[in-house]
Structure 1
Amino acid sequence: MEPVRISRITEQPLSVDRLLAAVSGPRVGGIVIFVGAVRDHDQPAAADAERTVRSLDYTAHPLADQRLDEVAKQAAAIDGVQTVAVEHRVGHLDIGDLAVVIAVGAEHRGEAFAGCRQLIDELKAGVPIWKEQTFADGVSEWVGLP
């Protein structure tokens, strides 16, 4: 069975339970789950002070799915990692909505933590998904553009 069980970008709501079930298995002794949610504040690049966020809109490049799969496979290649699952939302998200869920199953907790950290760090650095955040005052700002 493939170690990358789920790797997708979707407009549908995310499920921690779905990803947890995907990485569970008889060789898995440790599972680490990372959940990224839309928060109600940010310090945008053009401002000196924190501002209230009303919502986010995520947009993905057509090759983002392919790049997400590549970073998932890299995390799955860490010694001891058995299974990986990752989903990222696109479209309009409100405060509290889940934006990304990552689950990594490994033989031991150390490998599970290492795989999860590597996956989220590589996703943020190299998967072309951009967000436009809208602030309470109606001003919006793009984050993560090349």
Structure 2
Amino acid sequence: MTSTVEVRRPVPVTVAVVLVYVGGFANTALGVLVLLSRYQVDADDVLPVSLVGAATILLGLLTVAGGSSLARGSRLARTLLTAYLSLLVILQGIALALTELDPTIITALLAALAVIAAIWIPPTARRYFRRAAPSAGEPSPML
């Protein structure tokens, strides 16, 4: 008989999960806005703005997809979400330079940085991700 100990998710991790979902949907919407703003830029900037918009949509959807794994305490999800959000910050900086969506992009940029801080800084979050991962001898519950 195998005993499983359920680890309660700490409040900072729950806040981070909510921020991941909200931020992922917001970045998807921001990507659509950036994609639509290609009609208001110079002809030379249409392709870069279109690519930044499409990449922002994709990374926003990947962020939403990683939210449920983050809620279960997956260290891989935390690492991947950090990578996705870091790429989003870079793309938002490019979009800030190419488009005129300044307040919207600055808000999204600060939100992405807040999510990264929420999943890495609080000590309870670090302990949760360390405890929630199966040890080397146990099979992973996710296939």
- The structure with the largest alpha-carbon Rg is 2
Q: TM-score normalized by structure 1? A: 0.28
More helix by share: 2
Query: Could you say which structure has the higher strand fraction?
Result: 1
Q: TM-score of the superposition, structure 2-length normalised?
A: 0.28
Relative contact order higher in (CA < 8 Å, ≥ 6 apart): 1
